[in-house]
Amino acid sequence: MNDFKAVVMTPQIYRYVREQAGRPSAVQEKLIARTLELGDSAEMQIPHEQAVLLSLLVKITGAQTVVEVGTYTGYSTLAFAQALPPSGKVITCDVSAEWTSIAEEAWQAAGVRDRIDLRLGAAAQTLAEMPEEPVIDLVFIDADKVGYVHYWDLLVPRVRQGGLLLADNTLYYGEAAGDQPEGNAAAIDAFNRFVLSDQRVESVLVPIADGLTMARKR
Q: Which residues pair with 141 in a beta bridge?
A: 69, 167
Tens of pLDDT, residues 102-124: 999 999 999 999 999 999 999 99
> For 75-99, how does the pLDDT look when each residue is reduced to its tens digit (9 = 90+)?
999 999 999 999 999 999 999 999 9
Distance from C-alpha of 49 to C-alpha of 194, rounded to nearest angstrom: 27
User: What is the DSSP secondary structure assignment for residue 205, as one 8-state letter?
Assistant: E
- The Cα–Cα gap between 175 and 67 comes to 27
Secondary structure class of 77 (helix, strand, coil): helix
State the pTM of this model. 0.94
pLDDT for 9: 86
What pLDDT score was predicted for residue 205?
Answer: 97
The per-residue pLDDT of the chain, averaged, comes to 96
Domain ranges of the chain: 11-217
Q: Is 57 helix (H, G, I), strand (E, B) or coil?
A: helix
Give the β-pairing of 212-217 and 201-206.
Answer: antiparallel
Q: What is the mean pLDDT of residues 43-63?
A: 96
Q: How many residues does the chain have?
A: 218
- What pLDDT was estimated at residue 100? 96
Angle (CA) 159-44-85 rounded to 5° is 40
CB atoms within 10 A of CB 137: 19
Q: How far apart are CA 36 and CA 218, in angstroms?
A: 39
Is the domain defined by 11-217 classed in CATH 3.40.50.150?
yes
Predicted local confidence at residue 8, as pLDDT: 84
Rounded Cα distance, 30 and 215, in Å: 32
Residue 140 CA to residue 131 CA, distance in Å, equals 18
Q: How many CA atoms lie within 13 A of 67 on its CB side?
A: 23
